[in-house]
Amino acid sequence: MSGEEAIPAHESPGTPVRGRRPVLPGIASGVPGTPAARARLAVVVAVVLAALFAGPQYLSVGNVVLAITLFNLMAMAQAWNLIGGYGGQFSLGHGLFVGAGGYTMVLVLLHTGVPVAAAILIAGAVTAGIGALAGIPLLRLRGVYFSVGTLGVMIAAQAWVINWEWAGRTAGIYLPSDAVLGFSTQYYMGAALVVGTTAIAVVTVRSRYGLRLMAVRDDENAAQELGVNGFRVKLTAFAISAFLVGLSGALNAFEQLNLEPYSAFNIFWAVNMILACVIGGMSTFVGPLIGAALIFELQQQLQGYQDLTALIEGAILLAVIRFAPDGIWGLLYALPKSLRVLLRRLRQQDRAATGA
């Protein structure tokens, strides 16, 4: 890997980021060509979905509760990836949307007679609005300015809610008892959210809009010259991401039963999303899911040594970004090809050896 000259790419606001981007089409590369392959894919998808949604039938209550948390993490990672991986804007402040979604839903339930399903959707919509509003100033920034800017907005929101009497200040707010959902219901909602978020990601990225988004990510100035309004493209992705994370935040409120500002608007939401996406593989659909499963598994295995988890995750993150920037899915993706290349080389050596 080059880099021994260590001439850094200069970054100041306004200069385009030129660097190696993971060029991984993932599943976005296209639907399988032949009808047979398409049928195979459909069958696999159907089996997976059936197993997923039948979960509460064969899983113990404890495992259902675990699954709920896992689904939430997967959905959030997938949603972050829209603006972080495909959009090229590294948001550190996505906790803003988790908090906004959760608080909005609980406040709606506390003060209106709206049914739970509607409250969740309202939470998503309001969060999308917040995302759009925040994005207007923020998306004019690039690189680290954007990242720190999102963080600043999230912490400002936290400081605001801490002092906001209607939202319970530091005591927070609690879910009204008639809105406490059973674990099975939460499971289905979580599973639906993961599937839905992935579906939205696939559709969005595979569309013409998605091409424009990735073009902006790879070279915004060039895209601009081709007539693509980078700002508007990124703003749309940011708002969609905010909507989806807002829904996750609402579901998280059912898990927590009580919301308070320090944990609702916290950097660890974004930390988990980033860990999942970078380790799993940014700019792919499978990457965030694998990454989320991996760090969740790690957290579960190290139950007694909770502190070590973050250490290991950080180390894996560094290893991935240094040696395998395409993430684990990128490695797996390249595996068949590298195996084939390896096999071919071995066969050539064989032939050379036997003099054929």
Partner 1 sequence: MRCKLRCVLGLAVAAAAAAITVTACGGEASTTGTSANETPAGEIVIGATIPLTGALAAFGAQEKIADEMLVAEVNAAGGIMVDGEKKLVKLVILDSKSDPNLTTTQARTLALENGAVAFFGTIAPPLVIPLSSVSDQLKVPMTHHTPIQAWLGGRPEGWEYSWDVFFDELQMTTTQFEAADLAATNKKVVLFTDTEPDGVVMGGLWTENAPKFGYEIVAHETFPVGTTDFSSYIEEAKTAEAEVLIAQMVPPDAIALWKQMKAAGYQPKVAVCEKCSYNAGWAEALGPLAEGTLVADVWSPEYEYADWEKLLATKSQLGGQRSPGVSGVAISYTVGKVLLDAIAKAASTDPDKVNAALAATNGDYPTGHIEFTPEHYSAIPAVQTQWQGGGTVLVWPEVDGGGELIAPVEGLG
Partner 2 sequence: MTQLINAIFLGGLYAAVSLGLTLVFGVMRLVNLAHGEILIGGGYLALFFSGHLGLDPLVSLVLVVPALMLIAYPVQRLLLNPLMAHGAEPPLVATFGLSIIAQTLFLLAYTSNDRSLSASYGLTGVNILGTDVRAVLVIAFVGAIVLVAATHLALTRLRFGMALRAAAEDPEAAVSLGIDVKHVYALTFAIGAAVTAFGSVLIGVAFSLTPTAGLTWLLRAFTVIVLGGMGSIVGTLAGGMMIAFAEQYGALAFGPQYRDLIVFSLLVIVLVIRPQGLLGKKLA
Footprint of partner 1 (CB under 8 A): 25-27, 29-33, 37, 40-41, 44-45, 48, 51-52, 55, 59-63, 65-67, 70, 74, 159, 162-163, 169-172, 174, 177, 180, 255-258, 260, 263, 285-286, 289-290, 293-294, 296-297, 300-301, 303, 329, 332-333, 336
Q: Which listed option, partner 2, partner 1, none, makes contact with residue 170 (CB within 5 to 8 Å by class)?
A: partner 1
Cβ–Cβ < 8 Å for 28, 210: yes
- Note the residues at the interface with partner 2 (CB under 8 A): 1-13, 17-21, 88, 90, 92, 137-138, 140-141, 143-145, 147-149, 151-153, 155-156, 159-160, 162-163, 267, 271, 274, 278, 307-308, 310-311, 313-315, 317-318, 321-322, 325
Q: Which listed option, partner 1, partner 2, none, makes contact with residue 189 (CB within 5 to 8 Å by class)?
A: none
Q: Which listed option, partner 1, partner 2, none, makes contact with residue 317 (CB within 5 to 8 Å by class)?
A: partner 2
**Cα Rg of the chain, angstroms:** 22
Q: In this structure, what token pair is assigned to residue 145?
A: 């300015």
Q: How far is the CB of 22 from partner 2 (least distance, A)?
A: 10
| Residue among 19 and 25 whose Cβ is closer to partner 2 | 19
Helix residue ranges per DSSP H, the chain: 35-53, 55-58, 61-84, 95-111, 116-138, 143-162, 183-206, 208-218, 220-225, 230-256, 261-264, 267-280, 286-301, 306-323, 327-354
- Beta-bridge partner residues of 259: 173
Q: How far is the CB of 334 from partner 1 (least distance, A)?
A: 10
Residue that has been written with the tokens 């493209």 in this structure: 233
Q: In this structure, what token pair is assigned to residue 343?
A: 């096999």
Q: How far is the CB of 84 from partner 2 (least distance, A)?
A: 10
In angstroms, rounded to a whole number, what is the distance separating the alpha carbons of residues 263 and 72? 15
| Residue among 26 and 88 whose Cβ is closer to partner 1 | 26
Cβ–Cβ < 8 Å for 127, 252: no
In angstroms, rounded to a whole number, what is the distance separating the alpha carbons of residues 181 and 332? 38
Q: How far is the CB of 89 from partner 2 (least distance, A)?
A: 10
Question: How many Cα neighbours within 13 Å face the side chain of 293?
Answer: 9
Q: Nearest-5° angle of CA 96, CA 176, CA 268?
A: 25
Q: How far is the CB of 21 from partner 2 (least distance, A)?
A: 8
Q: Which listed option, partner 2, partner 1, none, makes contact with residue 143 (CB within 5 to 8 Å by class)?
A: partner 2
Q: How far is the CB of 7 from partner 1 (least distance, A)?
A: 32
Q: Which listed option, partner 2, partner 1, none, makes contact with residue 139 (CB within 5 to 8 Å by class)?
A: none
